[in-house]
């Protein structure tokens, strides 16, 4: 464990904690000595994550909630703050991907994508920030979006649009609460070694196409020549939560190895 006094005091709440990126963020915060509420929809998944983290000496606790359900989110915050104390940091890492051509997406695919990726960010951020304001405490919010929020991608219309919505909601929220010492930022990953990414690959050529580009999809490769590890995204999130970023708000930190050529927000 490497306690980091630059991180805000209080509990950190991480949604999508059982995912590749969410899980890496939970561990990174835990390794910095932060008490973490690890939240996911399926009860067994955050339980297993928290159990392993505690075995490694980290102060991680599992909670179950559907971030798209307003009542579950409010109950979650009550439970977390009653059990672990006030939330000082939030990372919105819950996300789903329903790929498909924009003209052929089902209503259910579109609705579910927005329910988790956009409405979930709204509901959890609102619940956390309201409690910060009510108790006049400062804090930080980081939303894990995507470089696709600013770059069109074939077969990813719902995902890209939902991440764009989450990005702008986070920035608007940050503008409104900056005067209260609450900072809101976005981390926009590119291709990252997670089950979500590998689910897009039909065969072994998928990895090659991600690294080198796919002209038939109007997609360039990754200039740094590597796919991100989830810890790369986690470190960016931890930085934005920390006091080292105390004068940074309303920003998007793109972590994509240069895949959007420095122009994605």
Specify the CATH number for the domain of residue 182: 3.40.50.720
Q: Provide the whole-model pTM.
A: 0.94
Residues 15, 67: contact at Cβ < 8 Å? yes
Assess if residue 174 is contained within a domain.
yes
Strand segments (E) across the chain:
11-14, 36-40, 60-64, 87-92, 139-144, 182-189, 213-214, 219-220, 252-255
For residue 265, the model assigns a pLDDT of: 57
Look over the chain and give the mean of its residue pLDDT values, rounded to a whole number: 93
For residue 45, the model assigns a pLDDT of: 73
Is pLDDT at 203 greater than 80 in this prediction? Answer: no
For residue 264, the model assigns a pLDDT of: 66
The tens digit of pLDDT for each residue in 125-142 reads 999 999 999 999 999 999
Assess if residue 259 is contained within a domain.
no
Assess if residue 211 is contained within a domain.
no
**Of the listed ranges 63-77, 79-93, 128-142, 213-227, the one predicted with least confidence:** 213-227
Domain count, the chain: 1
Is pLDDT at 1 greater than 70 in this prediction? Answer: no
Q: Does residue 178 come out as left (phi exceeding 0), alpha (psi in the -120 to 50 range) or beta?
A: alpha
Band of residue 43 on the pLDDT scale cut at 50, 70, 90? low
Residues 102, 157: contact at Cβ < 8 Å? yes
Residues forming the active site: 159
For residue 200, the model assigns a pLDDT of: 72
Assess if residue 248 is contained within a domain.
yes
Is pLDDT at 212 greater than 80 in this prediction? Answer: yes
The whole-number average pLDDT for the span 73-87 is 98
Assess if residue 2 is contained within a domain.
no
Owner of token pair 């991480």: 14
Q: What range defines the domain where residue 21 resides?
A: 11-194+230-253
Assess if residue 26 is contained within a domain.
yes
Assess if residue 216 is contained within a domain.
no
H helix count then E strand count, the chain: 9, 9
Assess if residue 186 is contained within a domain.
yes
> How far apart are alpha carbons 177 and 199 in whole angstroms?
38
């Amino acid at each position: 464990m490497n306690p980091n006094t630059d991180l805000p005091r209080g509990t950190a709440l991480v949604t999508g904690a059982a995912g590749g990126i969410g899980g890496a963020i939970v561990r990174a915060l835990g390794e910095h000595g932060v008490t973490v509420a690890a939240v996911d929809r399926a009860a067994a998944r955050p339980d297993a994550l928290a159990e392993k983290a505690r075995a490694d000496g980290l102060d991680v606790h599992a909670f179950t909630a559907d971030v798209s359900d307003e009542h579950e989110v409010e109950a979650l915050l009550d439970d977390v703050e009653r059990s672990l104390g006030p939330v000082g940091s939030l990372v919105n890492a819950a996300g789903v991907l329903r790929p498909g051509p924009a003209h052929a997406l089902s209503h259910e695919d579109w609705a579910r994508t927005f329910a988790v990726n956009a409405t979930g960010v709204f509901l959890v951020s609102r619940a956390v920030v309201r409690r910060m304001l009510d108790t006049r405490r400062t804090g930080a919010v980081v939303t894990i979006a995507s470089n696709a929020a600013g770059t069109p991608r074939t077969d990813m219309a719902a995902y890209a649009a939902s991440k764009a919505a989450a990005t702008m909601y986070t920035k608007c929220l940050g503008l409104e609460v900056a005067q209260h010492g609450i900072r809101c930022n976005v981390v926009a990953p590119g291709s990252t070694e997670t089950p979500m990414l590998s689910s897009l690959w039909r065969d072994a050529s998928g990895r090659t196409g991600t690294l080198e580009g796919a002209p038939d999809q109007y997609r360039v490769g990754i200039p740094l020549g590597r796919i991100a590890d989830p810890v790369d995204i986690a470190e960016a999130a931890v930085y934005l939560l920390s006091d080292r970023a105390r004068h940074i708000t309303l920003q998007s930190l793109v972590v994509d190895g240069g895949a959007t050529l420095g122009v994605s927000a």
